[in-house]
Chain A
């Protein structure tokens, strides 16, 4: 058997089992529709209900974005959970023989165009008896009346703007409507659910995956949590904002993270006790942590000024090549060495076996160590800048045609995919800052900045769908993201009185909590795992000069007078490692314990590439023993 035959047989056997599909299709066709559909619809629709709760809140606080659903005020809006409970009863109780005409409100999974909607509705057995009464468009517009609807059908048949529709149809068609795969929820009209209170529930929010949790969340909780949180972050006036942001820049501009923080294997590794080893960009862990560098940390000021420049259209080609150097110098653990010759590069980083080189208009990707890459130029983007890099993804921001930094390019190092997304529809007039990754949980957070505010989004990376945004919160000033765990995101920010606080934001419920308030200016440094961080307090208050370690796994704020404000922190294997003065310590409730000469590794050793040295023309790359 050859390999062609092997894969043919393999796929014939395991992909699309013809007999199984036939059996299941027949079984499903002969099973009453509501039995099939109810459990599936509940999962998706309840998730969507939670999404609506957040979305409605979101439009109140994300400035500069068009509200998706803003048809009714929150006072008159039925809670999504209540609507689902009512709809569930309707679904279960609607008799299959009930032919009485009744209003049915339909929310589509995604916005539809008129022609698609008509095709969909025609699939319902009672389609001849179904009349369209009102169209609900995604921008909040309502189109009611036969003539108006016909007029819209003629002019806007192809516009995908219909989020929902009110029908006058036989009551028994409720189930058939809900069975349509394009329908998210179908509801019978009632005294509570009428033309004034109906708002379509779409299915396009990332929270959909939290449906199980959402089921147990009461409607009251959903609404309260969201409203409270968003009211808090938007309570500052515009005039206060400008003052606050000017002041708080000093906080973020001092943000810096020591290379030694990145990984315990860097702490004290240097024979001389010098923690600024040459290999400071040697692996994704470190890059992830170093991304909040002083350049980025200048937040709105630097990024805004940069963004006002017209996009560079200089045509250029990089001259680069990877050569293996056989005459290797004695550089300790390093066993093999390559030289990447570069010209006109703005930045070069190493991720796994790849060297990513940025020029003014392009991104190049070279493979090191034997793999072939005949076409190193992977994409063109204006003024590219590394927003984040880890073992799985390199995220690069670039400028769009309007000169604003609103394009994201992702290099997926696992699959080799490169995809770009124009994020202007998601972030409006603000600009991409940096991306932070909670690696352990695979979550990414993007900071976007405008002249007056910082916007925090959770982003999902997917080569098929591009980068998708979910707005979390905004703040009228600079924000330093500090840590993430179990749906909670910690950050520090100063209020209008320059009082610094540590906040945490519940990404699931949209609730904001103030954890600690400090009487001085805070400087935050994260550990690479994003699960703990050091807060150093300056100023003249009582806590001035103190250094705190916040462990997000326990929610505890530890302090120890012995920890220097420039100490390094790394969390691995459930321990907090502190590196200072060339020595390593473990921080526990009993204080600092000297770990003697090396951190207690439990990971597996492997070899990876590191930048040994770099200058304007070449980057010398070496292999080095590292730890998992």
Chain B
């Protein structure tokens, strides 16, 4: 099989499946930063497989790649959450959360400028990514994958209140920290 044809097939599958695979990995694995490595491993493994045995036998590329993803995730994080029960204290009240939600949809003039300032934007991203890994996953699943918070709560095995508190607590903290 020609290398060009192989690359073309890989690129097509990659484009078609990246969103689903990244969503799967982020929801299953430890942190957004780890997820990047895992997603890379998944596609490396996929490429190696099709290079060695071809892809004629693959009916659903997405199902095939997700299967590889399941294996990778299990190997990476098999030891997570042993003997651990998590809850959180100092939660927001319902009223406070409603206020924050409403504020999220309001236009803010300076946010575009912040995104243009690469240094600051990266700082803000890393502030989230390097915090509690679950928070980064919530941000990714909610804002990039457009998942609803109650779906995220189910996916991450958390309560809705916990997801909301993690999200809003981080946003409120960032408002103060970065003046945004």
Residues of A at the B interface (CB closer than 8 Å) are 1-18, 21-22, 24-26, 28-30, 109-110, 116, 119-120, 123, 125, 180-182, 204, 354, 365, 367, 371-376, 378-379, 411, 415-422, 425, 463-467
Q: 1/0 contact trace for B51-74 toward A, CB 8 Å? A: 110000000000000000001101
Q: Residue B152 at the A interface, CB < 8 A?
A: no
* B84 near A420: Cβ-Cβ < 8 Å: yes
- On chain A, the residues within 8 Å of B44 by CB distance are 25-26, 28-29
Chain A proximity of B122: nearest CB distance (Å): 6
Known A3-B171, A181-B41, A182-B75; contact A15-B81, beta-carbon cutoff 8 A: no
- Identify which of A6, A125, A373 gathers the most chain B CB atoms within 10 Å of its CB: A6
Known A8-B144, A17-B36, A119-B71; contact A25-B43, beta-carbon cutoff 8 A: yes
- A420 nearest in chain B by CB position: B85
- On chain A, the residues within 8 Å of B111 by CB distance are 1-3, 5-6
Known A2-B105, A372-B92, A373-B89; contact A25-B40, beta-carbon cutoff 8 A: yes
Chain A proximity of B141: nearest CB distance (Å): 10
User: 6 smallest A-B Cβ distances: which pairs?
Assistant: A466-B84, A29-B47, A25-B43, A14-B125, A8-B143, A6-B111
- B39 nearest in chain A by CB position: A21
- On chain B, the residues within 8 Å of A29 by CB distance are 43-45, 47-48, 51
Q: Residue B99 at the A interface, CB < 8 A?
A: no
Question: Bound state CA distance, A116 and B75, in angstroms?
Answer: 9
- On chain A, the residues within 8 Å of B90 by CB distance are 354, 365, 367, 371-373, 416
Which residue from B11, B71, B132, B143 sits with its C-beta under 8 Å from A4? Answer: B143
- A9 nearest in chain B by CB position: B115
Chain A proximity of B8: nearest CB distance (Å): 12
Question: Bound state CA distance, A71 and B82, in angstroms?
Answer: 26
* B105 near A7: Cβ-Cβ < 8 Å: no
Residues of B at the A interface (CB closer than 8 Å) are 7, 10-11, 14, 18, 22, 26, 30, 32, 35-36, 39-48, 51-52, 71-72, 74-76, 78-93, 96, 103-108, 111-112, 114-115, 121-122, 124-126, 129, 131-134, 136, 139-140, 143-144, 165, 169, 171, 180
* B144 near A463: Cβ-Cβ < 8 Å: no
* B89 near A12: Cβ-Cβ < 8 Å: no
Which residue from A8, A373, A425 sits with its C-beta under 8 Å from B91? Answer: A373
- A425 nearest in chain B by CB position: B83
Chain B proximity of A159: nearest CB distance (Å): 14
Question: Bound state CA distance, A75 and B83, in angstroms?
Answer: 36
Question: Bound state CA distance, A375 and B94, in angstroms?
Answer: 12
Q: State the main secondary structure of chain B at its contact with A.
A: helix
Which residue from A2, A7, A116, A373 sits with its C-beta under 8 Å from B139? Answer: A7
* B114 near A25: Cβ-Cβ < 8 Å: no
Which residue from A7, A14, A21 sits with its C-beta under 8 Å from B43? Answer: A21
Q: A29-B47, A466-B84 are in contact. List 19 more A-B contacts (CB 8 A).
A: A1-B112, A6-B180, A7-B171, A9-B115, A11-B32, A11-B143, A11-B144, A14-B129, A15-B129, A16-B140, A21-B36, A26-B10, A371-B90, A372-B91, A373-B91, A374-B91, A418-B86, A418-B89, A421-B84
Question: Bound state CA distance, A477 and B179, in angstroms?
Answer: 56
Q: Can you list 18 contacts pairing A with B, beta carbon distance less than 8 Å? A: A8-B144, A14-B129, A15-B35, A16-B35, A16-B144, A109-B75, A120-B71, A125-B52, A181-B72, A367-B89, A372-B92, A372-B93, A373-B90, A416-B89, A417-B86, A417-B88, A419-B86, A466-B84
Known A14-B125, A22-B14, A25-B44; contact A411-B89, beta-carbon cutoff 8 A: yes
Question: Bound state CA distance, A465 and B133, in angstroms?
Answer: 12
Question: Bound state CA distance, A189 and B71, in angstroms?
Answer: 28
Chain A proximity of B178: nearest CB distance (Å): 11
- On chain A, the residues within 8 Å of B86 by CB distance are 417-419, 463
* B45 near A123: Cβ-Cβ < 8 Å: yes
The A-B contact count (CB < 8 A) is 195
Which residue from B26, B108, B136, B140 sits with its C-beta under 8 Å from A6? Answer: B108
Question: Bound state CA distance, A4 and B143, in angstroms?
Answer: 7
Chain A proximity of B168: nearest CB distance (Å): 11
- B41 nearest in chain A by CB position: A181
* B76 near A465: Cβ-Cβ < 8 Å: no
- B124 nearest in chain A by CB position: A10
Chain B proximity of A392: nearest CB distance (Å): 13
- B136 nearest in chain A by CB position: A15
- A20 nearest in chain B by CB position: B36
Question: Bound state CA distance, A319 and B90, in angstroms?
Answer: 18
Chain A proximity of B171: nearest CB distance (Å): 7
- A407 nearest in chain B by CB position: B83
Chain A proximity of B99: nearest CB distance (Å): 12
- On chain A, the residues within 8 Å of B96 by CB distance are 372
Known A10-B125, A378-B87; contact A28-B108, beta-carbon cutoff 8 A: no
- On chain A, the residues within 8 Å of B165 by CB distance are 416
Chain A proximity of B71: nearest CB distance (Å): 6
* A16 near B103: Cβ-Cβ < 8 Å: no
Chain A proximity of B20: nearest CB distance (Å): 12
* A375 near B122: Cβ-Cβ < 8 Å: no
- Identify which of A1, A12, A116 gathers the most chain B CB atoms within 10 Å of its CB: A1
- B96 nearest in chain A by CB position: A372
- B33 nearest in chain A by CB position: A15
- A353 nearest in chain B by CB position: B90
- B30 nearest in chain A by CB position: A464
Which residue from B10, B51, B83, B136 sits with its C-beta under 8 Å from A421? Answer: B83
Question: Bound state CA distance, A418 and B89, in angstroms?
Answer: 7
Question: Bound state CA distance, A75 and B139, in angstroms?
Answer: 54
- On chain B, the residues within 8 Å of A180 by CB distance are 75
Known A22-B43, A373-B89; contact A1-B107, beta-carbon cutoff 8 A: yes
* B133 near A418: Cβ-Cβ < 8 Å: no
- On chain A, the residues within 8 Å of B7 by CB distance are 26
Question: Bound state CA distance, A419 and B93, in angstroms?
Answer: 22
